[in-house]
A and B are shown apart, each in its own frame.
Chain A
Amino acid sequence: MDINKVLNEATKEIEESSNQLDLQNVKVAYLGKKGKITELLKSLKDLSLDEKKSTGAELNQLRNEVDNLIKSKFNQIKVEEINSKLRNESLDYSFPPPNSISPKVHPISKTFDEVITIFGSMGYSVAEGPDIETDYFNFSALNIPENHPAREMQDTFYIDDKDKDGKPFVLRTHTSPVQIRTLLNEKPPVKIIAPGRTYRCDSDSTHSPMFHQVEGLFINENANMGDLKGTLIEFCKQFFNVQDLKVRFRPSYFPFTEPSAEMDIAYEIVNNKIKLGQGDRWLEILGCGMVNPIVLENCNVDTKNFQGFAFGMGLDRITMLKYGLTDIRSFFSGNLNWIANNGFSIGDF
């Protein structure tokens, strides 16, 4: 019996099998119950003990070899079959997707978030007031009497509806009425910021009839003008992310603060862009001052024991400065391209 001959024949037949069925037939023909190798193994029983031992070993080796060949061929056939199936499932990776606009958060939202966070870390809670205000809260309580020239510093929108004093409601021209509302509701110490919408009838590239401000108010026993300076410098450093920040405070006038100041930040033009922090030009950032005792008295605050400061700044303005945006009207145009270009994705919000 020629074991090699069987092995050669089996190898050839395995090689020639092109699918799982052919291979299965080969397997049966050699390793099946009546297969050639099985038959050979059966015939061992007629041999002598010595022959049994040597031939048996050879036959077992033959069976293992054929079995391995079949298994390996089987895997080969299976891979080919899957590959051929996948080839038929192929799609065109090069077909471009439709254009879509990337969804973003409005830059003002980012500023709101940052302002609330920075002042929050300094202990300022957020307070609110309505956009439609009474004449009293928006003006008189803030020491801006009727017919006072200071009223003409701001162009006011009026609403047809009248308040209980018979005066038309106004769209708040600043967030300062929240100072009054808060002080009437809470006993000092008070430490709040009030971000929100404000309105003046004015419209050009730097003025929008609607814009955003944040008010700040800190009243306790001894908050002084040095604290005011420190607080605002610290805020600007954090918000504009400039540690080496040159600022100046200069005297100004707001009826509800005394002394009043405006804060400027130094800047220079580098490569046609505004660079904040250094230089010999100045940008006005905000108005502030020590709360006028007249205002505190209007809110029944005991001015012998309490004093403090207030500030107000334009959120659109600081957003424009921080990100180099130029036309405030585009903020409120609802233009999704503008939002996609200037807004923030959630990772950055």
Chain B
Amino acid sequence: MKFSYSWLCEHLETDKNANEIGDALTNIGLELESLSDYSSYSKFVVATIKDFKKHPNADRLNICKVDDGADTYQVICGANNVKKGLKGIFAKEGMYIPGTQMNLKKGKIRGETSEGMLLSERELNLSDDHEGIIELSENFKNGTSAVEALKLDDPIFEIGITPNRGDCLSIRGVARDLSAKGMGKLKPLKYEKIKKLEFESPISWSIKNDDNSCEYVVSRYFKDVNNTKSPEWLQKKLISLGLRPINALVDITNFVTVDLGRPLHVFDADKVGKKLDMRLANSNEKILALDNKDYTLDVNSTVIADSNNALAIAGIIGGDHSGCTENTKNVFLEVAIFNPNRVAKTGRSLGINSDARYRFERGLDKNMVLEGLEYASYLINKICGGSVSKNTDAGKLDTNEHKIKYDFNYFNKVIGLDLEPQIQVKILKDLEFQINERSDNECDVLVPSWRNDVKNNIDIVEEIIRIYGYDNINVSVPSSSKDEINNVENSLVNKKFKTISKLKKTLVSNGISEVITFSFHSNRAQEILTGNTSLKISNAISDDQSFMRNSMIFNHLESAELNFKKGIKNIQLFEIGPIYNSSQSQENILSLLISSQDHTNSIYKSVNFNFYSLTELASKLISSLNFDIKQFNISRSTSNIYHPGQSAEVHMGKKLIARYGKVHPLIMEEFPKLKNTYAIELLFENLPIESISRINSINISDSQFQFSEKDFSFIFEKQQNLYEVQRYVTGIDKNLIKNVEFFDLYESKNLGDTSKSVTFRVTIQSKEKTLEEKDLEQLHKNILEKVSNKFKAKIRT
């Protein structure tokens, strides 16, 4: 909210300057967002155009002789309001112009010297007006500073009002809060009640079928008014807030809204019927509002209507048809209390953000209904003349004031500060809370009518500390207890984050960079990966971010493509983050992508990355979590992310632990620039966290006796899972067979389509002795027989 220092001072008698007020505002929770300070504008001065002539080389420019009281300057000016005798604001060469954010250079414009500039409002950052240069009244002496001439000595505050403080959406409300902080004294409102309410209002109210959306409405009828332009004081006030003056009646309602926080509405009484209703809108009822837009209402909105039409959307905006113009002769002023919920809901569904809605949905001061009526009546009558009717109303104003039993010790317990009851009471009284039934420990607090937000003991505590000052709260650092530290150490989530850090270190030391991408992916990704369609984001920013991702693969391919376009040829990246299976199931996984495009360097030949390199990397990652890939069940992947012939899945029981492979060519069609692209997904949350966090976990047997190696070649069926063979061979003699390493795979036409030849090396070593030849031969024979029997494999010689 915006207001000027002088306007504030109409409500607050204060000896504090603008900076002190600004600090106090922030300290009481009305955060100062900006305080305009135009003191630097004193270097700009009033100057007169003594004479001017057309620029010889440019039709639209003039060469002006400008007198600033001390000297005369030649100024080239392009404004269309240049005339002899005009008084404007002058900036000399070298001065900083705030609106253009540049220093004014001395120079020639189309061959003619220019020694300064006559300024527009935009060049002074006062408004967007750049139609012409500023024109001042002739009374100003040349050389007078711009601050004085433009009355910029009145600082403008802009403050942020939190949603609970509807009472401060008015200058009076802010002044009231400042006075509680000791920044001055709240002045009484200056107005006079209309002495003679001369007649019954010809228009009357009824509230019916409105579903409790209007609690109370009161009105007056103004006869024979003269709706002219507002007086200068009123126009200036509105302009200072950035509002556009329209006509006196409209300006008065805007003024009262800002000054007292009391929205009101004026109808042109000759454009509405004699009986007005507060009622729910009809389905598809239409109204052209004052913002010149057509709105279609539904049965949840409340309207003000006569027997023919909806005239206004209650608490939100008036109708265009019934609005006041300069021809308005008779006026019907409406002041009401509407249900904040309904105003909020209607406003949101229609997308209307009006000053009235903003205030109604934050709750209004019910005691301000009649005072607002009097205040507006006084202004209308004073500015527009005419005569005023008696009140006409409907509904019942429920001003039941809220009472809270307050415990003084509660403050001390919550805030950690012993504040004596009399200080607490003083602050509450300064805030115009009434204190009754006070005892040593507690009292009854009567909440003022404008503080709808104060409902409980804790709200009272907040009021007291807000005014007493957060700076005065003692700082203490609670020490951590043994129990707490144990909890941290034993927490499964802490362990999970440690696992994640460990994985990150492993990945980075393998040359892979971490990225973080959005939890969303595109429509296209959703289509191709066939994720859960109920995970569509209803109000997505774009089609590229329209679904919650069920895989990171698309985001990572997009990232790879971006990096490829930046000239990075070998892309290795990973992300550890969530993927979403349904609205109630998400899991953190590791997803990595390797896309190597560049093999042109004949000197530094890196081994072409392939499925087997990927398998090795997957195995390394699993090892870093204290597991051995060979422990798990490994099979072809059925995921549509991967090439069906170059991929695998790792399971522990039914749980998927990892899957990896070359990215499916159908997906890669979307990324034609990328070649040779592989991915691994590690679902580390499916591994038992206790095993991952064990410190000494690998158990390698070590023997000092001589070892022996023997190679075996078999022809297996092509489908044979070699991990199974490896496990089987290892199990033939657990004491002696130390290692089984596969190192050759051969497929050829000679072997037929259904066979493969595989060679592995068995390392044999005893922990007890050096084995003799005959022991070894027996074991070799055993391996040959058992493997060929078990897997129907042919021994290859």
Within A103-150, the residues touching B (CB, 8 Å) are 103-106, 108-109, 112-113, 116, 120-128, 130-132, 146-150
Q: Give, as a whole number of angstroms, the nearest-CB distance from A41 to chain B.
A: 47
Is B111 an interface residue, CB under 8 A from the partner?
A: no
Across the two chains, which residue of chain B brings its CB closest to A157? B537
CA distance A332 to B165 in the complex (A): 37
B413–A224 touching, CB < 8 Å: yes
Is B548 an interface residue, CB under 8 A from the partner?
A: yes
Q: Give, as a whole number of angstroms, the nearest-CB distance from B349 to chain A.
A: 11
B580–A225 touching, CB < 8 Å: no
Cross-chain pairs A/B with CB under 8 angstroms, 27 sampled: A98-B598, A103-B510, A103-B511, A103-B512, A106-B516, A109-B504, A116-B494, A123-B480, A131-B580, A147-B341, A150-B164, A158-B537, A158-B539, A159-B535, A199-B519, A209-B520, A224-B414, A224-B416, A226-B476, A253-B29, A259-B414, A259-B458, A290-B414, A333-B559, A335-B563, A345-B508, A349-B508
Is B417 an interface residue, CB under 8 A from the partner?
A: yes
Is A166 an interface residue, CB under 8 A from the partner?
A: no
Chain B residues closer than 8 Å to A218, beta-carbon distance? 478
CA distance A108 to B488 in the complex (A): 21
- A-B pairs with CB below 8 Å: how many? 266
Chain B residues closer than 8 Å to A191, beta-carbon distance? 484, 487
Is B237 an interface residue, CB under 8 A from the partner?
A: no
Chain B residues closer than 8 Å to A149, beta-carbon distance? 163, 344, 361-362
- If A130-B586, A250-B26, A336-B515 touch, whether A227 touches B478 (CB-CB below 8 Å) is yes
Chain A residues closer than 8 Å to B538, beta-carbon distance? 157-160, 168
Q: How large is the interface on B (under 10, 10 to 19, 20 to 34, 35 or more residues)?
A: 35 or more
- Of the candidate stretches B380-388, B462-470, B686-694, B749-757, the one touching chain A is B462-470
A237-270 toward B: CB 8 Å interface, digit per residue (1/0)? 0000000000011111100001111100000000
Chain B residues closer than 8 Å to A146, beta-carbon distance? 341
Q: Give, as a whole number of angstroms, the nearest-CB distance from B165 to chain A.
A: 7
A197–B578 touching, CB < 8 Å: yes
Chain A residues closer than 8 Å to B555, beta-carbon distance? 334
B: residues with CB less than 8 A from A are 26-29, 31, 162-165, 340-341, 344-345, 348, 361-362, 413-417, 456, 458-459, 461-462, 465-466, 470-471, 473-478, 480-481, 484-485, 487-488, 491, 493-494, 496-497, 501, 504-505, 507-520, 533-541, 545, 548, 555-556, 558-559, 562-563, 566, 568, 570-573, 577-578, 580, 582-584, 586, 598, 601, 603-604
B578–A334 touching, CB < 8 Å: no
Q: Give, as a whole number of angstroms, the nearest-CB distance from B314 to chain A.
A: 15
Chain A residues closer than 8 Å to B568, beta-carbon distance? 101, 336-337
Is A95 an interface residue, CB under 8 A from the partner?
A: yes
B505–A334 touching, CB < 8 Å: no
A126–B583 touching, CB < 8 Å: no
Contact of A225 among B473, B536, B601 (CB under 8 A): B473
B497–A231 touching, CB < 8 Å: no
A126–B493 touching, CB < 8 Å: yes
A159–B534 touching, CB < 8 Å: yes
Q: Given A98-B598, A225-B473, list of 4 further CB < 8 A pairs?
A: A113-B497, A157-B540, A293-B456, A336-B566
Chain B residues closer than 8 Å to A124, beta-carbon distance? 484, 488
A: residues with CB less than 8 A from B are 95, 97-98, 100-101, 103-106, 108-109, 112-113, 116, 120-128, 130-132, 146-150, 152-153, 157-161, 163, 168-169, 171, 191, 197, 199, 201, 203, 209-210, 218, 222-227, 229-231, 233-234, 248-253, 258-262, 290, 292-294, 307, 331-337, 339-340, 343, 345-346, 349
CA distance A132 to B556 in the complex (A): 22
A226–B341 touching, CB < 8 Å: no
CA distance A79 to B27 in the complex (A): 85
B413–A222 touching, CB < 8 Å: yes
